[in-house]
Chains A and B, each alone.
Chain A
Amino acid sequence: MPDTLLPVMPPADPPAPARSALMPLRVRDLTLQMRGQPLLDIPALDLDCAGTTVIMGANGAGKSLLLRLLHGLIAPSSGTIAWGGAAMSPAIARRQALVFQKPVLLRRSVAANLDFVLRARRAGTAEARDALLARVGLTHKASQPARLLSGGEQQRLALARALATRPDILFLDEPTASLDPAAVQSFEGIVSDIADEGTSVIFVTHDVGQARRMAREVVFLHQGRITEHSAAPRFFAAPQSRAARAYLAGQLPL
Chain B
Amino acid sequence: MQDFGDAIGLALNLVLSGDADLFEIVLLSLRVSLTATAIACVLGLPLGAVLAVSRFRGRQAALVLVNALMGLPPVVVGLIVYLHLSRAGPLGFLGLLYTPTAMIIAQSILITPIVAALSRQVIEDLHGEYSEQFRSLALSRRQVVQALIWDARYSLVTVALAGFGRAVAEVGAVMIVGGNIDHLTRVMTTAIALETSKGDLPLALALGLVLMVLALGINAAAQSVRLTAARFAYA
Contacts and interface: CB of A to CB of B under 8 A. Distances in A.
Interface residues of A, number: 19
**Could you tell me the dominant secondary structure of chain B's interface residues?**
helix
A165 B233 contact: no
Nearest to A72: B135
B232 to A, nearest CB: 4
A145 interface: yes
Contact of A104 (B133, B138, B143): B133
Contact of B147 (A71, A73, A106): A106
A84 to B, nearest CB: 17
Interface in B130-183: 130, 132-133, 135-139, 143, 147, 150-151
A104 B129 contact: yes
Contacts of B136: 71, 73, 93, 97-98, 100
A116 B135 contact: no
Interface in A95-153: 97-98, 100, 104, 106-108, 116-117, 120, 145, 147-148
Nearest to A94: B138
A90 interface: yes
Given A120-B137, A120-B139, A145 B232 contact: yes
Contacts of A90: 138
Contacts of A148: 232-233
Contacts of A165: 137
Nearest to A71: B136
A93 B132 CA distance: 13
B151 A108 contact: yes
A108 B153 CA distance: 11
Q: Which of B129, B136, B151 has the most CB of A within 10 A?
A: B136
B151 A107 contact: yes
Interface in B193-235: 232-234
Contacts of B143: 120
Most B CB contacts (10 A, CB to CB) among A93, A108, A120, A148 go to A120
A165 B129 CA distance: 21
Give chain B's interface residue range (CB within 8 Å of chain A).
10 to 19
A100 B133 contact: yes
A26 to B, nearest CB: 22
Contacts of B139: 120
A107 B234 contact: yes
A120 B132 CA distance: 16
Contacts of B138: 90, 93-94
Contacts of A106: 130, 147, 151
Contacts of B232: 107, 145, 147-148
Contacts of A73: 132, 135-136
B87 to A, nearest CB: 51
Interface string B110-140: 0000000000000000000110110111110
Given A104-B132, A107-B151, A147 B137 contact: no
A90 B135 CA distance: 10
A116 B137 CA distance: 11
Interface of B: 129-130, 132-133, 135-139, 143, 147, 150-151, 232-234
14 contacts: A93-B136, A97-B136, A97-B137, A98-B136, A100-B133, A104-B132, A106-B151, A108-B234, A116-B147, A117-B137, A120-B137, A145-B234, A147-B232, A148-B233
Interface of A: 71, 73, 90, 93-94, 97-98, 100, 104, 106-108, 116-117, 120, 145, 147-148, 165
Given A120-B139, A145-B233, A147-B233, 16 more contacts: A73-B132, A73-B136, A94-B138, A97-B136, A97-B137, A98-B136, A104-B132, A107-B151, A107-B233, A107-B234, A117-B137, A145-B232, A147-B232, A147-B234, A148-B233, A165-B137
